[in-house]
Amino acid sequence: MVIIMKPKIAITMGDPSGIGPEIIVKTINEGIINNYCLPIVIGDKNILAREIDNLEIDINLNLIESPDKAIPDKNLINIIDLNLLSYNHPYGKVDEKSGEAAFKYVEKAVEYAVSTEVSAICTAPLNKEALQLAGYKYPGHTEILAELTGTENYSMMLSCPDFKVIHLTTHIGLLEAIEKINPERTYEVIKLAHDTLKNGRNSKPKIAVCGINPHAGESGLFGFKEEEKKLLPGIDRAKLEGINVEGPLAADTLFYRAKRRDFDVVVACYHDQGHIPIKVLGLEEGVNITVGLNSGVIRTSVDHGTAFDIAGKNQSDHKSMETAIKEAVKLVRNY
C-alpha cells in the first residue's frame, strides 16, 4: 500500500489587526483543508487565541517549535508562535507592531520553505502602510518574497475559476509601469506563465498578451507604438520557442474571451489591467500566486486585503483562504 504524505503548508497570519487571523481560524476549524494538507500557522498564539474566543468555537492551539512537530488533528491548530503581540492587540488600525509582526511571519515561513521543512507558503493579507511604518519599504508580499529568496525574475499571477492573469508590472505608478515594460520583460513573463501552467500538467497552455493602449494601439493610431516596441519582440521570441501565445490584443474584449476559455492565462501590462477583471469575476475564490521564486519556493495568497472595517466582527468570508491553500497543494503536487 502506498501512503501519500500530506504536504505541510505554512500559513502566515498577515496583519494581526486585520481579518487574516480570523479567516485562518475559520478555515482550519471547518476542517476541509485537513483532507489535503497539514496546515501550520506562523504567527502569534495570543492573536489566534483571541480569534477562537471571539468566534466561540471549540478548537485548541498546539504550540510547536518546528514544522516536523506538527500533529495532523482536525481539532488542533498547529502554530509556530513568534510571541510578538499581546492578546489585546488592537483591531482595525494601522499599527507599527502589526507591520513588524507581519514581516517576521513571512520571513520565518520563507526560512522553512527554503529548507524544505514546509512544502509551500500561503499568506494572509498584510497592510502596506503598517509595513512601511515598521521600516520595511516593500510594496507588498511579492517583493518581500523575491528579496528573501534572492529572486530577480518573478511575477504575480492571479487565478480565478475561469482563467489566470500574470503581470508585467505590479506595484508601481502607471507612467513608471509603461516605462519599465520592454521586450525582455515581456518574453520573461510569457515564459513564466507557460512554464507554470505546463508544470501544472497543461502541455500547451494558451496565452494572450494585453495591449498597453486602447485597442492595442490600433496599428499606431493610439499611443506611440508601444505595442510594436515593447511587446511584439518578446511575443515573437516566445513564438519561435514554440509557446502558444497571441497578442497584443485589446484588453477590453480579451478578458471576455478568457472567461469563455479561449485562453488559459492573460498577460496584463500593469496592475489594474489584470486585477480589476479578476476581482470582478472571482474575488471570493481569487488566489494570488508568486511564480518564479528561487529554491522552488511556492507561495499562494488570498486575493483581498486586510479589511480593517470588519476585523474582529465575525463578518469575514474565508473562502479565498481555503481556495489559496488548495491551490498551494495543487502546485506542490503539480496538479
162 pLDDT band (50/70/90 cuts)? confident
In a domain, residue 229? The reply is yes
207 near 190, Cβ under 8 Å? yes
Angle ∠(321,307,125) on CA atoms, nearest 5: 45
Q: How many beta carbons lie within 10 A of that of residue 86, not counting itself?
A: 12
Residues 25 and 91 in one domain: yes
The pLDDT, as a whole number, for residue 10 is 98
288 located within any domain: no
Q: Are residues 111 and 204 in the same domain?
A: no
Q: pLDDT digit string (tens) for 272-331?
A: 999 999 888 766 677 889 999 998 899 999 978 999 999 999 999 999 899 999 989 988
CATH number for the domain spanning 21: value is 3.40.718.10
Residue 43 parent element (H or E): strand 38-43
Residues 184 and 244 in one domain: yes
- Residues 157 and 196: beta-carbon distance below 8 Å: yes
Instruction: Identify the domain boundary among 283, 307, 324.
Output: 283
Query: Do 227 and 274 touch, CB atoms closer than 8 A?
Result: no
Are 326 and 188 part of one and the same domain?
Answer: no
Asked if residue 163 and residue 186 are part of one domain, the reply reads yes
As for how many domains the chain has, the answer is 2
Q: Is residue 220 part of a domain?
A: yes
pTM of the model: 0.87
Mark whether 161 and 71 lie in a shared domain.
Answer: no
Pair (137, 164) in one structural domain: no
Q: Residue 1: what pLDDT?
A: 36
pLDDT category of residue 34 using cuts at 50, 70 and 90: very high
Domain range for 28 is 1-151+293-335
Give the span between the Cα atoms of 331 and 234, in whole angstroms.
Answer: 27
**Does 247 or 217 have the greater pLDDT score?**
247
Identify the residue whose cell numbers are 489587526: 17
> In the structure grid, which three cell numbers stand for residue 139, read together?
510594496
Domain co-membership, 277 together with 311 = no
- 197 and 83 in a common domain: no
Residue 212 maps to a domain: yes
With 50 as the cut, is the pLDDT of residue 335 above it? no
Cell of 212: 498597453
Q: How confident is the model at residue 202 (pLDDT cuts 50, 70, 90)?
A: confident
Decide if 243 is inside a domain: yes
pLDDT at 3 over 60: no
Q: What is each CA distance from 309 to 88, 93, 305, in whole angstroms?
A: 18, 9, 11
- Asked whether residue 324 is assigned to any structural domain, the reply reads yes
Q: Do the Cβ atoms of 286 and 275 come closer than 8 Å? A: no
- The residue among 262, 283, 304 that closes a domain is 283
Tell me the CB-side half-sphere exposure of residue 113, using CA atoms within 13 A. Answer: 30
Based on the fold, state whether residues 272 and 332 are members of the same structural domain: no
Kindly state whether residues 164 and 258 are assigned to the same domain.
yes
Three-class SS of residue 206?
coil
Q: Based on the domain organization, do 304 and 258 belong to the same domain?
A: no
Whether residue 73 lies inside any domain: the answer is yes
Residue 120: per-residue pLDDT: 96
